[in-house]
């Protein structure tokens, strides 16, 4: 049980009195009380087991657990590690201040701090575990330190109020669901060192209207940008090898896409239900266009398919009734187009037809 002392910044108070026998016959009870408070004095006199609103390791370097009901809390100086689940499910904190001594924030440290709007991250932090800010719905502003490495999975999952973020320059990957459900996120800066954007990393980022992918990117994971309904344009770097299943599915505002040389696979339903998509260019080097890759792109007018494609999956262009496939005569894509009565095709013995 927590008792908040009046006058120390909290929302609730116990006043200056606790009645006789208030906690009598509660043998398992530990009172969490402010230091040097009336409640601490009461607990000492009454023989009730008590402790601070927070727990530290014996050497004071590891912050183990917070039990308080303040709206602001300052972690003590000297703490170097914020332990796993240290602030988990806190409902009252609006602001959490970390000292410059902090170097490590373990996984799910601030999980489901629903009200927290501000959590500073000191410049010396070198590691933040997965899900550290999981479901911090009200979190608005975060500055990640430059020394930080990869962006772990679930790091900002469902941080619905987060509007912008700069990924540190040392990062090489953005993990699964790292920004999934960040519906207010409008801009994110990704350094060129990032080679992997993981599964559902930006899924459901409804406000994201543009993003510049890093030049060294190799893999775009399954559902990486699924349902980014405001995304108007995307430039896929030449180094990308694989576009995962459903990577851009449901990107309703996307109008064109150019799959560059180097991409080998366009995953199943990679661009399905991109309602505003008008043109798509599949450059030389692409081997496979997956099942339902462009299914339901009802406004799609032109698809340029290179000679390198040797597999087009079932329903790849289903419900693309206005689409014209431009291709090479004698290619696999030509045979595919002729089999699909609903898709017209433009042929030229010397290569792609131009209009």
Does 255 fall in a domain?
no
Shared-domain flag, residues 95 and 130: yes
Span 264-286, average pLDDT = 96
pLDDT band at 345 (very low <50, low <70, confident <90, very high): low
Q: Lowest-confidence range among 120-129, 181-190, 312-321, 323-332? A: 323-332
Query: Is residue 31 located within the same domain as residue 107?
Result: no
Question: CA 107 to CA 88: how far, in whole Å?
Answer: 11
- Does 144 reside within a domain? yes
Report whether pLDDT(178) > 50.
yes
Q: What confidence tens digit (pLDDT) does each residue in 305-334 have? A: 989 999 999 999 999 888 888 888 888 888
Q: What is the pLDDT of residue 69?
A: 79
| Domain membership of residue 117 as a residue range | 55-148
> What mean pLDDT do residues 105-132 have?
97
Confidence of residue 176 (pLDDT cuts 50, 70, 90): very high
Taking 50 as the threshold, does the pLDDT of residue 51 lie above it?
yes
Q: Is residue 107 part of a domain?
A: yes
* Domain edge (last residue) among 52, 68, 90: 52
Domain shared by 20 and 62, yes or no: no
Domain boundary among the residues 98, 121, 148 is at: 148
The verdict on 43 and 110 lying in the same domain is no
Interacting residues of 196 by C-beta distance below 8 A, sequence separation 6+ = 172, 173, 174, 217, 218, 219, 221
Res. 126: pLDDT tops 90: yes
Segment 14-39, tens digit of pLDDT: 445 788 788 777 777 776 766 567 77
Average pLDDT over residues 79-91: 97
Query: Mean pLDDT over residues 66-88, rounded?
Result: 94
Choose the final residue of a domain: 148, 166, 194.
148
- The reported pLDDT for the residue numbered 8 is 40
Question: According to the model, what pLDDT value does residue 12 have?
Answer: 37
Q: Is residue 293 one of the residues assigned to a domain? A: no
Residues 28 and 88 occupy one common structural domain? no
* Percentage of the residues of the chain whose pLDDT score is greater than 90: 71
Domain count, the chain: 2
CATH of the domain at 130: 3.80.10.10
Asked whether residue 100 falls in the same domain as residue 73, the answer is: yes
Is residue 75 in some structural domain?
yes
Q: Are residues 48 and 59 in the same domain?
A: no
Q: What's the confidence (pLDDT) of residue 26?
A: 79
Is 337 contained in some domain?
Answer: no
% of the chain at pLDDT higher than 70: 88
**pLDDT for res 3:** 54
109 and 39, same structural domain?
no
- Are residues 112 and 61 part of one domain? yes
| Position 230 in a domain | no
pTM for the complete prediction?
0.85
Instruction: Choose between 323 and 12: higher pLDDT.
Output: 323
Rounded average pLDDT over 96-125:
97
Average pLDDT over residues 92-114: 97
Quick one: pLDDT band at residue 76, thresholds 50, 70, 90? very high
Give yes or no: residues 138 and 65 share one domain: yes
**Residues 73 and 126 placed together within one structural domain of the fold:** yes
Query: What's residue 335's pLDDT?
Result: 83
Q: Is residue 287 part of a domain?
A: no
Average of pLDDT values for 205-220?
Answer: 95
**Are residues 139 and 59 part of one domain?**
yes
Cβ 91 vs Cβ 68: under 8 Å: no
Summarised one tens digit per residue, pLDDT across range 232-261 is 999 999 999 999 999 999 999 999 999 999
| pLDDT mean over 70-92 | 95
């Amino acid at each position: 049980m927590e008792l908040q002392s009046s006058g120390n910044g909290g929302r609730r108070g116990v006043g200056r009195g606790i009645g006789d026998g208030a906690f009598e016959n509660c043998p398992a009870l530990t009172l969490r009380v402010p230091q040097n408070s009336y409640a601490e004095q009461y607990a000492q006199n009454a023989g009730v087991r008590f402790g601070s609103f927070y727990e530290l390791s014996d050497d004071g370097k590891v912050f183990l657990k917070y039990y308080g009901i303040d709206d602001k809390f300052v972690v003590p100086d000297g703490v170097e590690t914020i332990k796993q689940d240290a602030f988990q499910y806190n409902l009252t904190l609006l602001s959490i201040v970390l000292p410059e001594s902090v170097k490590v924030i373990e996984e799910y440290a601030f999980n489901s701090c629903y009200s927290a709007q501000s959590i500073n991250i000191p410049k010396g932090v070198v590691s933040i575990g997965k899900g550290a800010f999981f479901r911090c719905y009200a979190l608005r502003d975060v500055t990640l330190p430059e020394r930080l490495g990869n962006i772990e999975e679930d790091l900002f999952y469902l941080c619905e109020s987060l509007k912008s973020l700069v990924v540190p320059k040392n990062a090489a990957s953005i993990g699964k669901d790292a920004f999934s459900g960040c519906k207010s996120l409008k801009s994110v800066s990704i350094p060129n060192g990032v080679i992997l954007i993981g599964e559902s990393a930006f899924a459901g980022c409804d406000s994201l209207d543009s993003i510049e992918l890093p030049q060294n990117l190799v893999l775009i994971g399954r559902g990486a940008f699924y349902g980014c309904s405001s995304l108007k344009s995307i430039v896929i770097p030449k180094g990308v090898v694989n576009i995962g299943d459903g990577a851009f599915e449901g990107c309703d505002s996307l109008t064109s896409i150019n799959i560059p040389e180097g991409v080998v696979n366009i995953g199943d339903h990679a661009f399905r239900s991109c309602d505003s998509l008008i043109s798509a260019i599949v450059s030389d080097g692409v081997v496979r266009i997956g099942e339902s890759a462009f299914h339901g792109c009802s406004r799609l007018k032109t698809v340029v398919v290179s000679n390198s494609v040797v597999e087009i999956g079932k329903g790849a262009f289903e419900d693309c009734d206005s689409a014209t496939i431009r291709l090479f005569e004698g290619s696999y894509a030509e045979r595919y187009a002729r089999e699909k009565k609903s898709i017209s095709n433009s042929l030229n013995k010397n290569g792609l037809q131009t209009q």
